[in-house]
Amino acid sequence: MLKTMRASFHQLKWTLFAVIIVFVLGFVFFSGSNWGGNASSQVVAKVGGDQVSAVEFDRVYQNQVQKYRELYKGSFSPDLARALDLPRQVLDGMIERKLRLEAARRLKLTVSDDELARAIASLSYFQENGQFIGAQRYSERLRLAGMYPETFEEGVREDLLVEKYGALVKASVAVPEADVRKEFSAKNDKATIEYILVPSSRMEGALEPSEADLKAYYEKNRERYRSPEQRRANYLLVDKLKVRAKMPVSDAEVRAEYEAKKATFVVPEQVNASHILVSVDPKGGPEADAKARAKAEALAARAKAGEDFAKLATENTDDPNGKENGGQLPPFGRGQMVPEFEKAAFDMKPGEIRGPVKTSYGYHVIKLTAKTAAGTKSLEDVRSGISGELAERKATAETDRMARELAGKVRALKTKSDEELRKLQSDVVTYNTTDWFSKSGPIAGIGANADFSKEAWSLKVGEVSTKPISTPRGPAFVRPLAERPAGIQPLAEVRATVVEDWKSERRQKDALEKLAPAAKELGSGTSLADLAKRYETEVKTTPEFGPEGPVPDLGAAPRLLEEVFKTPSGQAGSPVPVPSGFVLFRVLTRAEGNPSAFATQKAQLTDTLRGKEAERLIRAVVAQMRADRKIEINEELLNSFLPAQQKTRRG
């Protein structure tokens, strides 16, 4: 169902996504990545007998990129995409979806054509005046969004099947009443406190453990330092950053690239606008329509009279996103709005307010804030981007060439000894040694890299891989150096970690001991204001919060929540550590949920708990299926979706 207006101001395919997000994973078609070969036949992953094609993956991946761009409001960068390892996140979600579908089919669950038709017809995007728009217009809308009805319907069918599976598992879950009452308390109990926050820095002393302290702590917490079977390895690395530093890009190359791609730098006419949406109750008939129009007319009159448009939008719009940003919309061009809204916006002058404008979403009051004429970005506007892309392209080609050359040298080595491998170093090829790493854990200097780990564990100690392994830093050749069984790591190897763990616990223990007398003073009548002066901080009072938190201004503080909700109103609690320091508090009010409300909320709370438990059970089943299936990932193809490893892509 359509719940936001904001999505409708992106390209139609994104509008459609927002409308039916619970049914379809994404709708941007394969965007022509620089993979080589026939993209339609390439496979990103194999999941047992099923597979994730490049086309299918690209569709979902591009959708996720768009969502992150909206979430980060223009600050979503290629570096952030790489840091998030976004392609792998998306692939993990797609694999989980396929396994859920398999679990549903195992139970012989199906979705009938009638169920599919009813689900599609119920979507407001395909309705007018509460009625389905008809098969022909339905197909036209999908094709305008770049989709085929068959593809869309298959996606909806699969989502309904996953939904059915979830509902079946949920129906099998029984929730004890004690759990429901606990959830009721968590949702309905409330408290307010006054408190002071003593920063950690004010409680720290010069703490250094003696050797005896360290050994005692290590022995007491040995299990904390247990590790699985581990290996260490050497590896040759063609360092791509070093290669790139040797790849200058000339002004002539930048100019040639600009001319070759000039058409891609054309910026269409765009406008910036804000709006106030007054939705119309679809079941209210003419009376509801007239009421909505009258409200929109009144708001338009107030805006034209000079009232703050952003404030009017925040207080009155039915667009949820508009309430958060004063009705402001992202810049948009022609073809990105519903026709009525587009025509009005492009006919307006900056600063003009117009409305009501009727669309299928309701009545809009529109304020145009800026208009940008169509044009082509100048070379200077795009120079840095072009230069970076050319440098990356040249560095990638040279890095690949050097990796092939290095592979030949590795294969030609007689003994492949440590000494021979060291001789292959150069100003861009480095020889490195890892720390101990497990089969599934990250590797210092490499990160989480399934291909590197797989090669490092499949080779015998002393052997060398003869094919380059793709890593974020460049192609690598690994040589397992040593292996040790699972067990407790020796103190000598985890000494630095043990020291920090000891210090952290000791700091907290000492701080709580120092604050304990102050807590007693508070309980005996000393004011928080007096204690605030002593610790050079300030007294704060919270608004109401519940047992699940968060505590306003303090965030996630489970120990504080626990203390607050076992401390009677008017009394002081024990000092409590929180992420930013230590809290001394007094409970101002404590209110338990109204017992008479339990009967009203019981059904909904039970349903929520059943849903949570069903999801936990489903995740457990999927995790086991994942462990049982042979899942093969085309790492090279997957990595090609990272911005640094591909040409410019359409988003």
- Quote the pLDDT of residue 194: 96
Q: Dihedral sign for Cα 277, 283, 286, 291, please.
A: negative
Q: Where are the domains of the chain?
A: 6-173+620-645, 190-206+492-591, 229-255+390-485, 269-373
Topology given in CATH for the domain delimited by 190-206+492-591: Chitinase A; domain 3 (3.10.50)
- Quote the pLDDT of residue 123: 87
Topology given in CATH for the domain delimited by 6-173+620-645: Triger factor/SurA peptide-binding fold (1.10.4030)
Which comes out higher in pLDDT, residue 123 or 38? 123
Residue 76 has pLDDT above 90, yes or no: no
- Quote the pLDDT of residue 102: 93
Which of 16-30, 72-86, 161-175, 446-460 has the lowest average pLDDT?
Answer: 16-30
Residue 646 has pLDDT above 60, yes or no: no
> Over the stretch 582-597, which tens digit does the pLDDT of each residue have?
999 999 999 998 888 9
- Hey, what long-range contacts does 40-45 have (CB within 8 A, 24 or more apart)? 42/634, 42/637, 43/634, 43/637, 44/91, 44/633, 44/634, 44/637, 44/638, 45/91, 45/94, 45/95, 45/631, 45/632, 45/633, 45/634, 45/638
> Over the stretch 404-417, which tens digit does the pLDDT of each residue have?
999 999 999 998 89
- Quote the pLDDT of residue 41: 54
- Quote the pLDDT of residue 242: 94
Query: Whole-prediction pTM value?
Result: 0.51
Domains 6-173+620-645 and 229-255+390-485 in one fold? no
Residue 320 has pLDDT above 80, yes or no: no
User: What is the pLDDT confidence band of residue 273, given thresholds at 50, 70 and 90?
Assistant: very high
Residue 180 has pLDDT above 70, yes or no: yes
Distance CA 451, CA 388 (A): 28
- What is the residue-averaged pLDDT of the chain? 86
Spatial CA neighbour of 240 closest among 479, 455, 468: 468
In single-letter form, the type of residue at position 369 comes to: T
DSSP string of 394-451, one letter each residue: HHHHHHHHHHHHHHHHHHH-SS--HHHHHTT--SSEEEEE---B-SSS-BTTTBS-HH
Max distance between CA atoms of the chain, in angstroms, equals 89
Top-level class of domain 269-373: alpha beta
- Quote the pLDDT of residue 81: 80
Residue 210 has pLDDT above 50, yes or no: yes
Distance CA 276, CA 314 (A): 8
Residue with tokens 């630095």: 496
DSSP string of 601-641, one letter each residue: HHHHHHHHHHHHHHHHHHHHHHHHHHHHS-EEE-HHHHHTT
- Quote the pLDDT of residue 407: 95
Asked whether 641 and 35 are in contact (CB, 8 A), the reply is: no
Does the domain at 229-255+390-485 match CATH 3.40.50? Answer given as no
> Over the stretch 493-508, which tens digit does the pLDDT of each residue have?
899 999 999 998 998 9
Which comes out higher in pLDDT, residue 637 or 350? 350
Share of the chain above pLDDT 90, in %: 60
Instruction: Find the mean pLDDT for residues 255-261.
Output: 93
User: What is the pLDDT confidence band of residue 651, given thresholds at 50, 70 and 90?
Assistant: very low
User: What is the pLDDT confidence band of residue 19, given thresholds at 50, 70 and 90?
Assistant: very low
The torsion angles phi and psi of 36, rounded to 5 degrees, stand at: 85, 155
- Quote the pLDDT of residue 254: 94
H/E/C letters for each residue in 45-58?
A: EEECCEEEEHHHHH
> Over the stretch 527-543, which tens digit does the pLDDT of each residue have?
999 999 999 999 999 99
Instruction: Find the mean pLDDT for residues 263-286.
Output: 88
User: What is the pLDDT confidence band of residue 74, given thresholds at 50, 70 and 90?
Assistant: low
Asked whether 432 and 235 are in contact (CB, 8 A), the reply is: yes
